[in-house]
Amino acid sequence: MTATSSTASTARRRVAVAGASGRMGRMLIEAIVASDDCVLAGALDIAGSPALGQDAAAFLGRQSGVLITSDLRAGLKDADVLIDFTRPEGTLAHAALCAELGVQLVIGTTGFSDAQKAEIEAAARKVAIVLAPNMSVGVNVTLKLLQMAAQALDAGYDIEIIEAHHKHKVDAPSGTALKMGEVIAEAQGTRLADRAVYERYGHTGERKPGSIGFATVRGGDIVGDHTVLFAGTGERVEITHRSNSRAGYAQGSLRAVGFLAGQRTGLFDMFDVLRLR
């Protein structure tokens, strides 16, 4: 059975994890090992990683029988789906091979350029892919709330998006913050590219009407905080989501894995997975 075939609702999905020795990779492996619907089928890491050759579940004090490898074909040979929360360049290499092998993808990587997104769209013509800047169920419900708020508060309210993450995060603003801005702009019939303000310094003058401002905080071990401020005259509305653990991302990823069982090709997001459209 290939990854693009439909599976019975009782079948356990065979899942490989990219970045298996990283913080998110380990959270994903822990969730898969504890799942009744999935089984760990592969574990990938970069060449030179000290984790290569180790059992992927060793950090849990368990043996999964799956060894961490940098050989992509070996790591994917038994998999229905690959979950990837790595870097754009690595994810694109994985996507190309997954498209060749018929392995579906759940992508939580952020920081893609428009050209890189086009490569993922091309891969999705061969295999089904869920691509989302944030896999958390709560974050995606928050996006739906922002869509509703943006439609109702479409005049007389200034919009600011404030996000905070740990000191190791390499892209800014976060993919989630950008997605929030995109959802708001689209709900108001506009494009984020025409409204976004990413930097303020010095004598900036008054705030440009209709702009969507972004503020970024980096420090410590903050998993991920996002607040959208709708500031009007005499009142303000704040919609906030805070992540205290990466567990929510892992659980959302497994929901995406289950959703893909019913798909052959196409590019989807968490609104599709959670039926929020």
User: pLDDT tens digits for 5-41?
Assistant: 343 445 899 999 999 999 999 999 999 999 999 999 9
Per-residue pLDDT for 222 more than 60?
Answer: yes
| 36-56 pLDDT tens trace | 999 999 999 999 999 999 999
State residue 269's pLDDT score.
95
Average pLDDT over residues 172-187: 96
CA distance 63 to 165: 33
Write down all domains in the chain, each with its CATH number in brackets. Answer: 13-135+246-273 (3.40.50.720), 137-243 (3.30.360.10)
Per-residue pLDDT for 170 more than 70?
Answer: yes
| 228-276 pLDDT tens trace | 999 999 999 999 999 998 899 999 999 999 999 999 999 999 999 999 9
Instruction: Establish whether 94 is a catalytic residue.
Output: no
CA distance 182 to 78: 37
State residue 10's pLDDT score.
58
Q: Given 94, 165, 226, 241, which residue is catalytic?
A: 165
Cross-strand partners of 39: 14
Average pLDDT over residues 178-206: 97
Q: Given 117, 167, 169, 226, which residue is catalytic?
A: 169
Task: Say which residues have a Cβ less than 8 Å from residue 31's Cβ, sequence separation at least 6.
Answer: 247, 250, 251, 253, 254
Task: Say which residues have a Cβ less than 8 Å from residue 244's Cβ, sequence separation at least 6.
Answer: 223
CB atoms within 10 A of CB 154: 13
Structural contact between residues 34 and 4, judged by C-beta atoms closer than 8 angstroms: no
Instruction: Establish whether 167 is a catalytic residue.
Output: no
